[in-house]
Structure 1
Amino acid sequence: MLKKTMLAGMLACWALTCQAQSISPTPDQIKAYTSAWKGERLPDGRPKVPDAVLARLKNISMEEAWGVLRNKGYHNQFEGDWQLIHTDSTMTGRVVTAQYVPSRPDLQELVKETGKKEGRVQTGGTNSWPIDVLKEGDVYVADGYGKVADGTLIGDNLGNSIYAKSKRGVVFYGSVRDVEGLSEIKGFNAWMKGQDPSYIQQMMLVNINTPIRIGRAIVLPGDVVLAKKYGTIFIPAHLAEELVLTSEVTALRDEFGHLRLKEGKYTPGEIDTKWSEAIQKDFLNWVNNYPGKLPMTKKELDDYLKERNY
């Protein structure tokens, strides 16, 4: 318990030290957070997971994505029990994080002064600052510590700005206002813990693009989010492409297994355990004659299967 308390204190001191320096980490600091990523990066240092991977991710189920991450040792990437504006919507994108805390006058003054030195907009609230950094393909993810009344991070005006910049919606561990107006923004959606007619009061922004907590999940800037009505999964950038391919192959295996079970060709025990050589050959033949379009290239599939044990 003492070790946990000491660690929490160290992290708090580190956060305040970073805050005294800037609202956002430098590109090099973000690269340090995400050092496992070896691909292209955005100007702010966040990993730039390819658009093609984001598009394929939309077809991955929560369970498939969750299973891959758990097998990789990432146990704290899922959060559920959301309210959505549009319930049958799926969203993927590159995460921009924001951290909100209850207001404290001395810290709020420091934040505003730091933002002024950094050239951030001084009119209006600081809750517009994360929106100013959004690029197309970004998803604004904010820890509003679950505050609903007086914790509404955006209304329809900011919602329009968010969608204009990112062509995406938001994931808020907090709330929004003007849901009726937000619902009229074509293509926009919000994953939130509540909605309220009040405006934001007694809470403040402290950081942009630092690690944050979203319920049960830890989220880093540049993570990839998969958001569905069933929940949200935050995927480390360096695992995104592998997760998509692994999940796609799992879906193919499930489709094949369900088909053969319906046909009565194999027993549940044969499908649910390590496949025999005969089932492996049957699966490969089925894949080679797949009736639809495979979600991956044939080379991707062949290379993947060569390295896997059925």
Structure 2
Amino acid sequence: MKRFSYLLCAYLFCLILPIGLSAQTISKEELVFLTSEWKGERFEDGRPKIPDNIVERAKAIGLDDAWTILRNMGYNNQFEDGWKLVHDDVTVVGRALTATFMPKRPDIEKSILERGHKQGYIGASNAWPIDMLQKGDVYVADGFGKVAGGTLIGQTLGNSIFNKSGNGVIFNGGARDLQGLLQIDGFNAFVRDFHPSFLEESVLMGLNTPTRIGKAIVMPGDLVLAEREGVLFIPAHLAEEVVLTAEFIVLRDNFGFEVIRNGRFTTGQIDSQWTDEIKEAFLQWLKENPSEGKMTREELDKLMEKRTW
């Protein structure tokens, strides 16, 4: 029995052995398994590839609406707050590329560095996730909340990240060179705090793996929506539905404000399940206001059918 338990543990450990990467990772097959609800295109590393147009449209939706939609779907552990930002007015939206750091242990760090350098990685391990970034990615790293000595980037790496991804970062840890980071136009970093120290006593232990950011679980490829009030990690397979529903909420509110103001319908009617009369009035309103968006009766019925917001 003991031998069986040992073999089982050894087998499970093998599932997360490095496959072509320097820090601990999971195989592409395992990542596909863990994100099996995703049925679309994937990156070579196995991450779900949310379509660019969905990522772009996500920049215009409200975080509060997206949070509520996810909660109503039963996804209660996707949000984390308590951040400090480089820019208060720069939203970060994109696909998550994840990294997990742990407190340094010399023997482990030695092995990881030796293997990484043989595979062509250069310098310290905190730069390696940056080498994997693609346009639209958001670098999401768990630095176990460390600030002093836990500064995962400064001005140099911040510029490198922005040049590769055109995007920002989410770090459960610290950053340095705030004044330098402020000069990167369009860049933002959500961190626990800023500190003048350099990164020390930390080692990269997970790359492109599931990770935890505070109270939230993050999978590689999740849609990151980060605004001043916090960060929401939307599972890839729900990204399109969340974005479409959030867009409809904005349309519904704009329509509702107008028809309530002119007395055509009451607040109670708009805030309840819509009658056929309201649905037809809404579709007509969209025709008369094409800049607001487009929607078919079928799409509207589908959204209203699931309505829990």
> TM-score interval w.r.t. the shorter chain?
0.7 to 0.9
What amino acid does structure 2 have at the position aligned with 1:285? Answer: Q
Counterparts of 2:194 and 2:230, CA distance in 1:
18
What amino acid does structure 1 have at the position aligned with 2:265? Answer: Y
% identical aligned pairs: 47
Partner of 1:114: 115
After the TM superposition, which of the residue ranges 190-199 and 101-110 deviates more from structure 2? Answer: 101-110
Query: Contact between 2:61 and 2:243, CA under 8 Å: does it hold in 1?
Result: yes
Counterparts of 1:101 and 1:280, CA distance in 2:
53
- Structure 2 residue 200 is the aligned partner of structure 1 residue 201: yes
Relative to structure 1, is the Cα distance of residues 14 and 218 closer, same or farther in structure 2, using a 3 angstrom cutoff?
farther
Unaligned runs of 5+ in 1: 1-9
Query: Contact between 1:19 and 1:207, CA under 8 Å: does it hold in 2?
Result: no
Counterparts of 2:102 and 2:52, CA distance in 1:
33
Query: Contact between 2:87 and 2:188, CA under 8 Å: does it hold in 1?
Result: yes
Q: CA deviation at 1:304?
A: 1.6
Counterparts of 1:92 and 1:187, CA distance in 2:
12
- Structure 2 residue 209 is the aligned partner of structure 1 residue 214: no
Partner of 1:5: none
Q: CA deviation at 1:20?
A: 6.5
Partner of 1:37: 38
Residue deviations 1:240-270, cap 9 Å, x none?
1111111111111111112223334333322
RMSD of aligned Cα (Å) = 2.2
Query: Contact between 2:15 and 2:27, CA under 8 Å: does it hold in 1?
Result: no
Partner of 2:16: 18
- 1:64-213 equivalences under 5 Å are 64-121=65-122, 123=123, 125-213=124-212
3-state secondary structure, aligned to 2:16: helix
Q: CA deviation at 1:17?
A: 6.9
What TM-score do you get using the length of structure 1 for normalisation? 0.88
Counterparts of 2:297 and 2:220, CA distance in 1:
33
What amino acid does structure 2 have at the position aligned with 1:79? Answer: E
After the TM superposition, which of the residue ranges 133-142 and 24-33 deviates more from structure 2? Answer: 24-33
Q: CA deviation at 1:82?
A: 1.4
3-state secondary structure, aligned to 1:18: coil
Kindly report structure 1 stretches of 4+ aligned residues shifted beyond 4 Å: 13-17, 19-22
Counterparts of 2:48 and 2:73, CA distance in 1:
19
Counterparts of 1:191 and 1:53, CA distance in 2:
22
Unaligned runs of 5+ in 2: 1-7
Partner of 1:248: 247
Counterparts of 1:15 and 1:101, CA distance in 2:
18
Relative to structure 1, is the Cα distance of residues 220 and 92 closer, same or farther in structure 2, using a 3 angstrom cutoff?
same
Query: Contact between 1:19 and 1:206, CA under 8 Å: does it hold in 2?
Result: no
3-state secondary structure, aligned to 2:37: coil
What TM-score do you get using the length of structure 2 for normalisation? 0.88
